[in-house]
Each structure stands twice: as C-alpha cells, then as structure tokens.
Structure 1
Amino acid sequence: MSRQITLVSWNFENNGGSDAEKRQRAHNKLVRLRPHLVFRQEMWKADSDGSTILYQLEEVLGLRGWLGPEACTAIFADPRLFRPVREWPKTGPMWVLPPTALTVRFLPAGDEAAPLALASYHLNYASGTNRVAEAEWLSTWADKKWTTPRGETLRMPCIIAGDNNSYPVPGVEGDPALPVLEKINDRPHRLHRSYVGPDGTRVMDTRPDEALRTAGMEDVARHWAVRHRDPAAVSRTVNACETHGPDSRVDRVYATTELLDAVSGVDVIEVPEEESDHHIVRVTLNGDRLSDILNQQPSAPGSLIAPRATSSGGA
C-alpha cells in the first residue's frame, strides 16, 4: 500500500490572539488530520520570547517548524519524511506579509531525487496592486534550480499554499461565485477586493490566480474538481458575512503541473466561526507517485530539466 502524504493550509485567525488554550485546541484539530506538511498564516507573536509559541506548536503538532520573517507565516514538516536543504529568508521586496520558503528533500524518494520548493504565503489584504506583485514574486519558487549529483540542473517541483485575499478565475462547477461589487456593504472592502479593469470599471480581483497559473502553477482544488468531477474540492474557505459579501475560496494550494498526478484528494474542513474566520484546506498526495515524479529527470522541453546556464530563479 502506498504512503499517503497529507498537506494542510490554514489561516488560523490571529494565531489565537492571547488565548493559549484556543491556540492549543486549534492545533489539536490539525493533529487529528495527521498532517505531514502544515502551511500556516497569521503566526503573529510566534517569534516573541525566543519563539516560544513556535516551539510550543512544534510540540503539539509533532512536526518541525520554520517561522517566516515578522512571524506572518510558517511551515511545519514531518522530519521522518522531509529534510530541509535550504531556507529562503529573503523573499523579495514587495511583501507586506512575508512568506516562509524552504527547499526540502522528500526522504522516501532518495538522495538523488529532485527536492521540493515550498512556500506558505499571505497576500496583502488591502491592495490589489500589491497582491499581483506578490503573486509574481511567488512564481519565482516555481523557477528554483537544483544541481544533481550528476551535474544536471533541474527546475524543482513546487508547492505553495496560503491566503490569497482574492478570488480564483471563475469557471469550475461548485466554485463560489464572484461577489457583486455593489453588494459588498463595506465600502473599503470593495476597494480591497477589486481593481479597475481595461474598460474603466471595477472588477473583482482574480489576478493573483491568473498570474500563478500563467507561471505554470495549478490551483490543486480546481484541478481535482475538474478531473474527478468533485465540486466539494472547491468549497468555500471563508463564510459569507454582512460586510464582506458571499462565501469565497480565498485560501488555495498551488503546485507545478508535474506534481498533479500525485494528488489523491482535496477537501475543505470547515471550522466554527468562533474558532477562526478561515477553514482548513487539505490535500493528500500519493507518496509512491510523488517519489516517482521526483525521480523523473527527462530532458524534453517543459520537463524538470532546465538549461545549465540559467539563473537561480529569483530571490
């Protein structure tokens, strides 16, 4: 039987604030999902007092944690399956809430397999202009290179997950409909979630999704929903509210296309509103298939192999 790898992404509201018991309960919820990778957002104050909160969460989850700049985001990984080979503390100039970015080796794939680039991110809340720039910087993690023991240069497969504060491009059955701008009661929020289109009218912001998909990263939930006719995969990740409009799917996981064949399931675990304002996105991967993909090193165009003379792929 193949190993199942479970990945979850969650913007846990305000990291529980000053309520340590709430934070403990929230991460106990994650433990019950038995994750091997956790992408967290809103890690506020996890760097205080010598990163005490980060290490407490490591103990609760039973995973090793990496905290990004300014305690905005974090990644936790099962050390039995993932070994870090590089951190990326400088993630580009545009970030309001900097991501956590790592290069890791999937240990079951072996030492000669391609590593994985990972990033947990939180796009800007208030500025669509900044969000699209941040999404463009995220694309650099789909362009990171690695040199194999044989001296070949690979473009590493990549998984990123986070809060996009914007919407996926419409067109998939089950995906929450885009809000109608005029029906968003909170006037500043109309600005925050829209931009001026080519005809001079405001439209809802789907540009980060379009940018990432242009860069060769697929919305994993969208892929699963289409391929397996499973509209539940694109369920809401944020509930409707009076001020901000209808249900929306602002939390998403993206992967470079070669990894899609390893995806074995996508769903959303709803969280009561008193616990957090975002739900949990869960993706499962077939570990054997993941190992096979990481060990494939073809030289055809569009493959993992990149020309030896190319740059290291951004920040």
Structure 2
Amino acid sequence: MDSSQDELVVLSWNIERNGRGRENNDANRQLAHLVMARYRPHILFRQELAGAWENGRRDLHEEANALGGLIPFMPAPKEGRSRKPVGVMVDPTLFQIDAQVEHDLPWKQICHVQVRLRGCPTPIQLASAHLCHFDPQLRATEARRLTDLADHGRTALIGMDANSYPHRTADEVTEPIGWDEMNDPVHYQQRTVERNGARIPDTGPSEILTGGRHIFTDLAHHAGTVLGQRGALAATASLRRTDQGPPQRIDIVLSTPDLAPALRSFEVVVTPEVRRVTDHGLLVARFQLSQFRRCLAGRT
C-alpha cells in the first residue's frame, strides 16, 4: 500500500481571531487555508472560529471546502460568553458521522462529534476545546467534562488550546517562565494557582486529563518520550507576544491510550507563514491508518 494511503492526518490549530486579525480582512485566513491544505487533513480541530457562524456560516464552509470538502461542525456562540467558538471538521470519505453534541459550559462550549471509521463499528469521540483563559477553576471543570468522552471504555481524540501547562515538567523542552519577572500581572493571575502558600503555574488540566491513572495520552509527549521525536514537545504559543515570558506548550492533542500505538509522528509547525496568521503553532499528528484500524478493533 502507498504510504500516503495508509496515513491518517489530524490537525489542531488556534487561528487567532479566525485569521481576520484586527484589520478584519481575508488575507491571513486564506493563507491559513493554504497552510492546512498542504497536509491534506482527515480531521481538523479548530479554535477561535470568530465570526464563522455569520452569513449562514459562510466562513466555516469556505474553510472546510478549501481542505478538500471536509464536513464542518461548530456551536453558535451565546450571549454573554466567548465569541470565539471551537469546531471540528471531518473527512466524509474516511469517516461516517453518527452525532454532534454541544457541551454547554459557562464560558466556551466543547464541540463533540461522534464518528466511525468506515468499515469499523467502533465509535470515536472527536472533540475540540478551548479552555477558559481567565479562570483556573473553570479550566479544571472543562477538563473534567472532557474526561466523560472516555467514560465506559469509549475511544476519543481531542484537540485543544489548554491555556495551561503540562504537568510532567521534567520531560518538557521549553524555557521555564520567570514568574517573578512577569510583565503582565493579569496573565500572572490567570495562569497560576496557589498551592501550599505559593503561586505556581496551572497544570491542573494536564493532571486531570493525562496524569494519575492516565485517562488520555498527550500525543506530543508520547512522540517526544516514546518515539524519540523531541521536536514534538516544542512550544506552541505565544509566538508573538514578549510580555508573557518565553513561548510554552499549551496547545495539545490527546487520545485515549488505545490509539497511541498507531501514532507515527507529531509536529509543531511554526513557519513564518504560521506566525503571520496566528500566535499559535499548527499541530500535526500522523497515524498509520491500518494500525489505527487494528487499535479500534482491539488489536495492536
């Protein structure tokens, strides 16, 4: 089999303000489409789909069509909450769609789509999430909501902006933040928590999702520590700002452990084109499709 035919490509990307920027033009959004299209994704997890629900969700469908005719899903924003919803896009030639669920939370909904790989009866829970940027306690609640996708032995795959940090600090390659020198006091309050009388970086969502008894596998961590691809642990944000310390790995792709053996590579793309579009790196996870099928069938 041609290696390209035995590959499942999953992207996750927070495109700042949906690529429109403060100028509200289409140039960066069109560039984002070109960047993603090069990878020929079968699954795309998107964050910050600002304005994509307007005009009959025209922007949403334009992006899905630019990526080869993916089927797009997103929740509409609600009054008094975030105006930058998340979304999921799926290749209908590879997956059949079973259902869409919107998990309503106080700040931003989780977009959850159940699919099945064609020819395989096992359902897969796909979810895009963007955890609350201003409240560590709400981030923990959102992370616990995501654990439900793996309940009763279900298989799940999640792409997200966690707005928090990995808990296995010894394995990370990013430069630590000097919180005492932080020039942004609001960011300091939003990204730290108090433990034992000290302020420390918020690693709560990572601990909930990938710590302890291992509900999910952090695929970048798996690639970096098991597959030997240390570049998978590169910083994902912020690629532009300089007042919030060095860039960190806050964007992640998770799977239930049953899918991890099928992972072949994980990449954080931070090219000049990506930096022009947004302050977040593009995450690219590649699975061996035949192995992915075997994992779903309970065989590795």
Tell me if both proteins adopt one fold, taking TM over 0.5 as the criterion.
yes
User: 1-side partners of 2:279 and 2:62: how far apart?
Assistant: 22
Deviates further, 235-244 or 156-165: 235-244
- 2:96 pairs, out of 54, 67, 83, with 83
- 1:178 pairs, out of 165, 176, 179, with 176
TM-score, length-normalised on structure 2?
0.89
User: 2-side partners of 1:33 and 1:168: how far apart?
Assistant: 26
2:13 partner letter: W
Contact residue 194 and residue 200 of structure 2 kept, 8 A: yes
Structure 2's unaligned 5+ residue stretches are 78-83
Report the equivalent of 1:31: 37
Change (3 A) 1:297 1:231: closer
User: 1-side partners of 2:106 and 2:284: how far apart?
Assistant: 25
Report the equivalent of 1:261: 261
Once the two structures are superposed, residues 120-155 of structure 1 have per-residue CA deviations (whole angstroms, 9 ceiling, x without a partner) of 000011111111111111111111x5xxxxxxxxx3
Contact residue 169 and residue 206 of structure 1 kept, 8 A: yes
Once the two structures are superposed, residues 79-112 of structure 1 have per-residue CA deviations (whole angstroms, 9 ceiling, x without a partner) of 11011101112x14x34121210110011xx24x
User: 1-side partners of 2:61 and 2:241: how far apart?
Assistant: 34
Report the equivalent of 1:210: 207
User: 2-side partners of 1:101 and 1:267: how far apart?
Assistant: 24
Structure 1's unaligned 5+ residue stretches are 146-154, 299-315
- 1:138 pairs, out of 143, 146, 151, with 146
User: 2-side partners of 1:213 and 1:275: how far apart?
Assistant: 30
Query: How far off is 1:230 after superposition?
Result: 1.9
2:290 paired with 1:288: yes
- 2:112 pairs, out of 101, 120, 123, with 101
Query: How far off is 1:242 after superposition?
Result: 2.4
- 1:276 pairs, out of 274, 278, 297, with 278
User: 2-side partners of 1:271 and 1:12: how far apart?
Assistant: 14
Identity %: 28
User: 1-side partners of 2:282 and 2:259: how far apart?
Assistant: 21
Once the two structures are superposed, residues 45-101 of structure 1 have per-residue CA deviations (whole angstroms, 9 ceiling, x without a partner) of 111011111111121112111112426011111111011101112x14x34121210
Contact residue 128 and residue 195 of structure 1 kept, 8 A: yes
TM-score, length-normalised on structure 1?
0.85
2:16 paired with 1:13: yes
1:142 partner letter: A
Contact residue 121 and residue 161 of structure 1 kept, 8 A: yes
Report the equivalent of 2:62: 56
1:16 partner letter: G
- Please give the secondary structure, in 1, of the residue aligned with 2:109: coil
Query: How far off is 1:178 after superposition?
Result: 3.5
- 1:191 pairs, out of 189, 192, 201, with 189
Contact residue 68 and residue 101 of structure 1 kept, 8 A: no
Aligned residues: 282
Runs of 4+ in 1 over 2 A off after TM superposition: 170-175, 239-242, 271-274
2:242 paired with 1:236: no
Change (3 A) 1:206 1:240: farther
